[in-house]
Chains A and B, each alone.
Chain A
């Protein structure tokens, strides 16, 4: 079995099958394949954006792939995930079919939300992906509610909400931390710290860039980890999920990473210092993991992933555009009342 699977009964198209592997011994090559799938997906999105097939703001996960892959290895089916607008990789890690996510970005009927969400605000609840959010920090209180529901239903679910370092400065995240701690909610706050809050260095706008310490005042265990190592991420998320499932409340994980792409496609990244990108690229998750893997194995995986992404993006491009005659459907349960 590889990291890429066809999820029976959910989709006919290939996607990552990470949750199902949660208890298995992991091979480095599987981790590499999963992260590479996200990388190649994002690179194809960049091409489609630059070609004009995809339009609008697009925020790529390139460089940060180890976090969604590690996190989803530690979660179970039924654990809701809430991400940010930098969320393609999170949806894929949850198991969304590649073609359906391409289709979403391309405004196709076959897109996970039929083109209504676009790159920055789609969800795929069938795969436990409760959605991106284009309002920085807004997902944290919503995840608290999902955790409240899980707690009431005694479902044993742990809810994961991921956001960037910039979101830690939003009031909604502070409110969510306190709310979750006060109510002992089974929620995992995962901060992807790529050091840049959009175009501004985090360190320039905070008194301390040790974000994990912000759990302390709320009595939330906080930990800072290497976010470029999927196993480290998986271990931290597994520990937090155990705590959540045991009824011991929320956790805060600060996963240190680097964004290789800009904040959005078109970001000229003039804020980078000399040699910064070279240093980052020398230690990014794929490069790091590939060092110890046989070249032949890497080639095989690279070939397979490239083939799958070509196939998925081609099938999305060939699909029909979303039906504009249905554009006001689903505003309400009973739309006739609001015609």
Chain B
């Protein structure tokens, strides 16, 4: 796992940020005002979460600061899922091997 992925997992560990990602995936590119609507949270708080998502490469902001639109950038998410799948394959294999070793004792 790279430290880029570390940033991705850290970003995903927070429910508010997961909700923001879900909103962006359903609504498409959105402004900060649109993302703050219907969320019991200040503009600043949402903005902070967006900054963290951008640092992790999960979200990209486009346009001038005023009216900037944020959109999902799914590649790092796919990489993170790939890591989980790789680790998963290792453990499935190890579990099968453990069963073999213990039962053949």
Q: Please determine whether chains A and B interact with each other in the same assembly.
A: no
